[in-house]
Structure 1
C-alpha cells in the first residue's frame, strides 16, 4: 500500500503532460443549507472584534467567504485559557474580545463587506467554577447562582457517579441531564430557561447577527432547541454541535429538523485518507459513508476542539493541511467551514493577550496562524463559489494517492499526494477551451494570474506535471481574458 512518507513544507507548481481516462461518479447530494451564493464559513477562533472587522474588509469579503463564525461574545469567567469563553457568567455582550459597541461595529463592517456573522452561542451551560467568582465585566456569580439571570432551580443535578458529571455516553439521561466537566447544566426543559436563552439570542439578532453555532447541542434534547428556536424574533441560520458516537443513543440525525449539524466524522476520515490510506477511496465521500445529508452537514478539516484532540490534520501539517482543505473546498458535500487558529503549544493555552487577559489585535503569522489566508485555502474559496451547484464528473484515480475530478463544466481539481511527481499525462476537464489561472499556485485578479496558467484545449484537455504532495485547480471564475 502506498502511504505518504513525508509532509510537504509548501505547495509548488509542476507543469507537463499526462493521460487520464476519466470516469463519472454519482451526482452529489443536494446543496448544503447555508443560504445565498457564498456558503463557506471561516471560524476566526478567539479573534477580537476589531480584528474580525478589519479581516472582513481586507480578506474575507474580497476572497468570497460567505460567513465568519466568531467566538462567544457574552461575559465569561476571567482567566487565560481559551475555554473560559465557553463558561458564561452573564449575557452581557462584554468579553475579553471587546465591548458591545465594538461587537456592533464589527457586525456592521462585515455586512458592508458582504460577509454574514455567525455567533458561537453557549446555551447548554454556565460556568464550571465550583467556588464562583467575578466575571470579565465585573459580574459576581456562583456555580449555580447568576444574579438576575439564573438561580439554583434553573440547573440539573443528576447526582450520579459521585458528582453531577457525565460518565456514560451510552446513557441518554446522563448525556443530557448531567454536567460536562462540572459546567453547570441548564434545565433547558424549563420555559423560564428557554425564554432567557432566547432573550440572549434575540439581543444578538438585534445587533444584526445572521446565525448561531449552538455549542454543546448534544447535551440538550433536540426538542428543547426547537422550543428555543421558536422564541427567536426572526429567522436565523443554525448549526448545532452534535458529535457522532458509534452506538450512542444521542445521534446527530435527531437535530436536523432544527437546522444544520456538524459532521465530526468528516475531518477524521479525511485525515485518515491523507495520512494512512488512499485518496482513491474519496470518490464517494459523504452520505455514502454514513454521514448526514449533505444539505444538513457542516464539515471541517479541524476545529478548535478537534485540533487539540488529535486524529485530524491541523496547521502543523502545513502543505498536507492545505491539500486537505483544497479537497474540502472543491468537493460538494456539506457546507465547508475553514479553521483559523492561534498558535499554541499546550492544550489549554489561550490566544495572544495582554496582562489582563484581553485578546490583542491579530497579527497574522505571529501568534496567529491565519490558515484562511494561506493562498491555497483562500483561493479555493473562489473555486467553491464558482462551482456551486455543479455535480462531480470525470473522476480519475490511480488506485492510491492521485485523484482528479471535474465540477461539471465549472471547475477541475487534481491532487497528487504520492511521494513523486506525476508527469507525462493529460487531464480531461470538460471545461470550455481557454487559459485558466491555477489557483493552487497563483491568485486571479483583474483578469490576470500571479502564478502559472493552464491551457485547456478545444476538446477540454490540458497537460501538466503535478509535483509530489501538490495539486492543480482551475475554474471558470479564474479564466483569463
Structure 2
C-alpha cells in the first residue's frame, strides 16, 4: 500500500545531515583499519573515472575502507563524443580512451593491487559501434559501420534481416534478441571462431595488464554458450559477472548464465526502491531467493548502476540522499548476493557524459566537487563495507519488525543493524543481539578511531541486549570490527 509521508519535507535536512554529511566535505584519507577484517567482496563501480583517479582512489579510500574490487568502465578505443555511452561503442581494442592511455591503465592496476583491491573491467564484447557517430575513433582508428580495419569486417556480424533495420523489437523472440541489433549497434557473431578468438585476444591482453575479472556487458544478447567459449579461451581463471536483465515472461533469463559465473540480479534494486519508497521494510524479512531471485551465491546486486540510475523513478540514486544511503546500508548488511556500490557523477540529461575537459578527456575525480558524487565515500556506505566484511559467512538472526518501516536484525554474533524509516523517532527500545558484551562504535554515525569512536557508542550487555534511540529515517549499526572495549 502507498505510504503517507507528511513529514518528509521537514526531515530532509535531518536526513542529509545525518547520513550524507561527508558529501559537503571531501575526505582525502580513510582510517586504515576501517574495513580490513574478513573476505573483501564488495565492488565499487567507479563509473567513468579516469585511470589516474582510480589508482589514487584505491590507495586513498577503497583499500583502507575494505572494498575488495573496483569496477572500471570500458578501456578500449571508442567513438568520439561527450555522451556517457560512447565508451560502450568500441571501434578497436586498443587500450586508449578518454579515460587514459594503456600505460596509465597498467599503472592504475598496479596501484590498486598494491592497495589490496582487485580490478574488474566492464567488457563490451557483444557489439561494435553504431551509426550515431562517424570515424575516426578516439585514438585515430578509421572505421565505418561493419568495417573496423584490422579487427572486423561485414562477415563478422549478425544480419538478422528483421524489422527493416536489423534492430531488436520483440524481446519474447530468443533469436531476435541474440541475433538482431541492440539500438543499431553492430552485433558481433559471437558463435564464429574468428570472432571468439579476436574477443579472447582483447580480454587476454587486459589479463596481461593484471586485470582480475570482467563484467560482460549485454550478456543477454549473446547465448550463454558463446560466453562459455570466450571464458575457455582466457589465459587464466578470472571473476566474471554477466549483465542479463530479467524480463517477466521472456525466454532468456539470468539462470541460463550462472554456469559461466555471477549474474546481475536487476530485480533487486528495483524492488528495494519500491519498498523503501512506497511499501513496508517489514516485507524484506526474506529478501532475495524468497522473492524468486537467482541463487545468492551467483547473484551480483546493487541499489543502482550506470543504466538504472537513468531510469528513475524506478531506482534509488544519489539524488535520494538519505534514503539512498539507508538502502545501501541494508544491501551491505543483508547476506543475499555480492554487492556493488555505485560511484557516479551528477547529470541533468540522460545522455550526459562525465565531467570532461575541452578535448573530451575525462577530468580527474575530485570527490564532492566538479560534479563527482563519490557515493562509495559517503560515511554510511563506506563504514558499512567494514560491517559487510566483519559479518561474512554468518546468517540472519534475531529479526525484528514493527509491521511497517522499522526493522532490525543480526548477523550471527558479528553484527547488528536497526533501520527506522518511519516519519518519527523510535525511542526507548532495546534490541536482542548474539554479540559479546562490550562497547561498539555505531558505524552509521561514526567510525572506530584508535581506542575510541568518532560517533555514538552502543553498549551491549552480558545478555546481548542494547538500547538505542533512532531518529526518523535513520539507523544504528554495530559490528565486531568496531568494538572499542
TM-score when scaled to structure 2? 0.93
Task: State how far apart, in whole Å, the 1-side matches of 2:354 and 2:132 are.
Answer: 24
Residue of structure 1 in register with 2:327 after alignment: 324
Residue of structure 2 in register with 1:441 after alignment: 445
Which digits, 9 at most, give the CA deviation of each residue in 1:87-124, with x for residues without a partner? 00000000000000000000000000000000000000
Residue of structure 1 in register with 2:122 after alignment: 120
Contact 1:267 1:301 in 2 (8 A): yes
Match 1:340 to one of 324, 327, 343: 343
Residue of structure 1 in register with 2:318 after alignment: 315
Q: Map of 1:213-228 to 2, 5 A cutoff?
A: 213-228=215-230
- How far did 1:172 drift? 0.4
Which digits, 9 at most, give the CA deviation of each residue in 1:271-310, with x for residues without a partner? 1110000000000000010101000000000000000012
Match 1:69 to one of 46, 62, 71: 71
Task: State how far apart, in whole Å, the 2-side matches of 1:12 and 1:472 are.
Answer: 15
Secondary structure at the aligned position of 2:477 is classed as: strand
Q: Aligned pair 1:41/2:65, yes or no?
A: no
Residue of structure 2 in register with 1:254 after alignment: 256
- Structure 2: tracts of 5 or more residues without a match: 20-37
Residue of structure 2 in register with 1:362 after alignment: 365
Task: State how far apart, in whole Å, the 1-side matches of 2:180 and 2:41 are.
Answer: 35
Residue of structure 1 in register with 2:31 after alignment: none
Residue of structure 1 in register with 2:148 after alignment: 146
Which digits, 9 at most, give the CA deviation of each residue in 1:136-176, with x for residues without a partner? 00000011000000000000111211111000000001100
Q: Map of 1:47-446 to 2, 5 A cutoff?
A: 47-129=49-131, 132-310=134-312, 311-366=314-369, 367-446=371-450
Task: State how far apart, in whole Å, the 2-side matches of 1:132 and 1:123 are.
Answer: 20
Contact 1:4 1:275 in 2 (8 A): no
Distance 1:256 1:4, change over 3 A: farther
Distance 1:79 1:419, change over 3 A: same
Secondary structure at the aligned position of 1:108 is classed as: helix
Contact 1:3 1:277 in 2 (8 A): no
Task: State how far apart, in whole Å, the 2-side matches of 1:157 and 1:315 are.
Answer: 40
Distance 1:276 1:131, change over 3 A: closer
Which digits, 9 at most, give the CA deviation of each residue in 1:60-80, with x for residues without a partner? 000000000000000000110
Residue of structure 2 in register with 1:33 after alignment: none
Task: State how far apart, in whole Å, the 1-side matches of 2:206 and 2:342 are.
Answer: 23
Task: State how far apart, in whole Å, the 1-side matches of 2:180 and 2:45 are.
Answer: 29
Which digits, 9 at most, give the CA deviation of each residue in 1:208-266, with x for residues without a partner? 00000000000000000000100000001000000000000101000000000000000
- How far did 1:446 drift? 2.5
Distance 1:331 1:133, change over 3 A: same
Task: State how far apart, in whole Å, the 1-side matches of 2:259 and 2:302 are.
Answer: 21
Secondary structure at the aligned position of 1:141 is classed as: coil
Contact 2:219 2:243 in 1 (8 A): yes
Which digits, 9 at most, give the CA deviation of each residue in 1:2-21, with x for residues without a partner? 5445264436679xxxxxxx
Q: Aligned pair 1:453/2:469, yes or no?
A: no
Higher relative CO (CA 8 A, sep ≥ 6), structure 1 or 2? 1
Secondary structure at the aligned position of 1:424 is classed as: strand
- How far did 1:365 drift? 1.2
Aligned length: 460
Contact 1:420 1:468 in 2 (8 A): yes
Secondary structure at the aligned position of 2:470 is classed as: coil
Contact 2:79 2:133 in 1 (8 A): no
Task: State how far apart, in whole Å, the 2-side matches of 1:439 and 1:418 are.
Answer: 20
Task: State how far apart, in whole Å, the 2-side matches of 1:240 and 1:253 are.
Answer: 11
- How far did 1:443 drift? 1.5
Contact 1:387 1:475 in 2 (8 A): yes
Secondary structure at the aligned position of 2:481 is classed as: helix
Contact 2:282 2:407 in 1 (8 A): yes
Task: State how far apart, in whole Å, the 2-side matches of 1:8 and 1:423 are.
Answer: 20
TM-score when scaled to structure 1? 0.94
Distance 1:11 1:384, change over 3 A: farther
Task: State how far apart, in whole Å, the 2-side matches of 1:131 and 1:97 are.
Answer: 19
Secondary structure at the aligned position of 1:140 is classed as: coil
Secondary structure at the aligned position of 2:427 is classed as: coil
Task: State how far apart, in whole Å, the 2-side matches of 1:456 and 1:233 are.
Answer: 50
Contact 2:396 2:409 in 1 (8 A): yes
Secondary structure at the aligned position of 1:464 is classed as: strand
- Structure 1: tracts of 5 or more residues without a match: 15-35
